[in-house]
Amino acid sequence: MAAATSISNTLIPFHKTQQKSQPTKTKPITLCMTIQEANNTTTSPTTSTEITAIATATTIARQQNLDQEQEAIQHIYRKKPRHPQEHHNKRKLRHVWREIQGESDWAGLLDPMDPILRLELIRYGEMAQACYDAFDFDPFSKYCGSCRFTRCNFFSSLGMNPTRHGYTVTRYLYATANINLPNFFRQSRWPKMWSKNANWAGYVAVSNDEMSTRIGRRDVVVAWRGTVTHLEWVADLMDFLKPFSAKNIPCPDPTVKVESGFLELYTEKDESCGYCKYSAREQILTEIKRLLEMYPNEELSITMTGHSLGAALATLSAYDIVETGLNVVGDNRAVPVSVFSFSGPRVGNVRFKERLETLGLKVLRVLNVHDMVPKSPGLVFNEHLPASVMKLAEGLPWSYSHVGVELALDHKNSPFLNPNGDAVCAHNLEALLHLIDGLVLFYI
């Protein structure tokens, strides 16, 4: 099965079974092994049960070693202090969460990497990865294209540590579209499938009381799934720009434009289908409004996360929230909205970027410099051109600009990753999280 093979190749480092008599340890990750090398190393999973086991092992392996790695990093810092940022590990997240969420555009936190920010990026990245791990890829399953777990057992079913992921999933998100997205939408081969028009696209979750105390606020998270195969969708999307207000979305500036394929996926609905009777946009805005009203007297934050196409949808939906003023609560207090984007493409034009910054939306884009997806769309006309040229090209339907702050990583600088990996592996979320996981050590 193609989907199973793809997953096995991205999760090779965690396939080998560990003996119970030996202490658990993480082997160095070999990024981008070829399919032949992977097959020589282990057998590719052929069932959804095996895929679940691999995905769960991946999450548990990282969680089991996180405390040990952090202790090692702190030990190195104690032995060889280099920078005032190195003392950030003595702080508590609940005291500095606004800074971590981008209040000051992450100034001074990225080079060297702030230890608290590093852990938060991994945590939100794992919540995005959960969208892949929980997705039913099996074409022989009646529920192919849906989530394999119930909302109440979502994180526990994936083996995710409640001390790091103390959230309750309050709503699943479903998407539909009348555009060519063969790698985003999956359908069962059963004649009586759960839905012919919808796919599970992600979830909305809110931190529980214990987690809220630990992180200093009630955090509402929206996690978006990316495509099943990571690169082919670029050619499938309609990459011309369309006004954000074209779908009757309130926006005072008609020159604010976004990629039309992203906008269609975000706003399309099928009233004949129970799962996508409401668009993904309507599902998100309704749930965000409900949760903000549920906790009127608490410190709140809204965090969007996603990988690949999911990163684009996270940026688009976050912009929608601040543009419509949904994050402004009853006492006229604006709830901070942040996006942690992983390997995301460009979403809109220069006016989209300027409007997003004016509204105070904070976006941190994490990417691998060898990944082609963040370089598209807008391969020719983009933010790297002189402002005068972009001004002349702003009327073109293919003139794009990245938003927010960029954190660019290079897997070739890691001693644990194969420097000769292919383009698909450079786009892999697990490998990107591994780069973040070891980033502090790379700086030393």
User: Is 388 assigned a catalytic role?
Assistant: no
Instruction: Answer whether 285's CB lies under 8 Å from 407's CB.
Output: no
CB atoms within 10 A of CB 188: 20
d(CA 127, CA 131) in angstroms, rounded, equals 7
Nearest to 257 by CA among 282, 238, 284, 236: 238
CB neighbour list of residue 191: distance below 8 Å, 6 or more residues apart: none
d(CA 401, CA 350) in angstroms, rounded, equals 5
User: Is 236 assigned a catalytic role?
Assistant: no
Catalytic residue among 88, 402, 411, 427: 427
User: Is 308 assigned a catalytic role?
Assistant: yes
Catalytic residue among 371, 399, 401, 437: 371
Write out the two tokens for 61: 């392996």
Catalytic residue among 6, 207, 260, 308: 308
**What Rg value do the Cα atoms of the chain yield, rounded?**
21
Instruction: Answer whether 397's CB lies under 8 Å from 344's CB.
Output: no
CB neighbour list of residue 254: distance below 8 Å, 6 or more residues apart: 243, 245
Q: With b meaning 16 or more CB within 10 Å and e meaning fewer, what string describes 389-400?
A: ebeebbeebbbb
Give the 3-state secondary structure percentages of the chain, helix then strand then coil, rounded to 5. 40, 15, 45
SS3 430: helix
- Catalytic residue annotation: 308, 371, 427
